[in-house]
Structure 1
């Protein structure tokens, strides 16, 4: 499936419909403080693109690698908390995958890059 970025680079790069999702979906694992990864990274406000980070989360059963990439703002979070929560989600998915049978189809999960657009960290798909 091919995805088109569209004509204007700065417009609507947040979610590329039809591409592999970079959102966390229904996965929600809590940390010691009780906050889920989604709650920890919810505030994506930024002043510059260097504050926008990407973290690989989860584990794909069929072909390995992360199940998704999430974007967050380092301005608003403790990066150790983000890494700890992402690791917890990944460990949970690894545990769940042990009881599953891999399919023959390997769904691609495209890596993303994070940019600060309109003072919000947003993801764009790398090709």
Structure 2
């Protein structure tokens, strides 16, 4: 019985192993995207990382990304004291456009859940998403 089981396992392993022909060229690596959306998101996150504030009036929420049914996929809090608002909003718009194009190309679908803007508040000297964020 043990021999039969060993033969069966070796047979299965042989069938699932892909033999490489030493003469055949290695598969080509996929070409990197020139400006992947994740690169823009990382830049947006870096620009909004310092959320230092002294009152609620210095805090804003930034819609980022896109979902198939429309609207942003998330919000990030930022401080007007430490963030170039014009630059970060332009990057967020570019990221949104890239995500929308990616959604169209891939045929992605979403749950069509509306994500309301939670706003942002200053808590202990740091901008944070408002009370609406806790409901998510």
Shift of 1:109: 2.4
Q: Which runs of 5+ in 2 are unaligned?
A: 1-36
Backbone CA RMSD of aligned residues: 2.2
Q: Does 1:39 align with 2:46?
A: yes
Match among 73, 84, 87 for residue 90 of structure 2: 84
Distance 1:84 1:52 in 2: 18
Question: Which stretch shifts more, 88-97 or 38-47?
Answer: 88-97
Shift of 1:75: 0.4
Per the alignment, in what secondary structure is the counterpart of residue 72 of structure 1? strand
* Alpha-carbon separation, structure 2, partners of 1:44 and 1:115: 10
Looking at secondary structure, tell me which structure has more strand per residue: 1
Within a 5 Å distance, the mapping from 1:1-127 to structure 2 comes to: 27-29=38-40, 36-61=43-68, 63-103=69-109, 105-126=111-132
The one-character-per-residue Cα deviations of 1:36-88 (angstroms, maximum 9, x if unpaired) are 00110000000111000012122111x21111111100000111111111112
Change (3 A) 1:103 1:51: same
TM-score (norm 2): 0.63
Any conservation in 1 of the 2:52–2:125 contact (CA below 8 Å)?
Answer: yes
Aligned residues: 97
Larger radius of gyration: 2
**Which structure ranks higher in relative contact order (CA pairs < 8 Å, sequence separation ≥ 6)?**
1
Whichever structure has more helix as a proportion of its residues is: 2
Q: Runs in 1 of length 4+ with deviation above 4 angstroms?
A: none
Q: Give the TM-score taking structure 1 as reference length.
A: 0.67
Q: What stretches of structure 1 of length at least 5 have no aligned partner?
A: 1-25
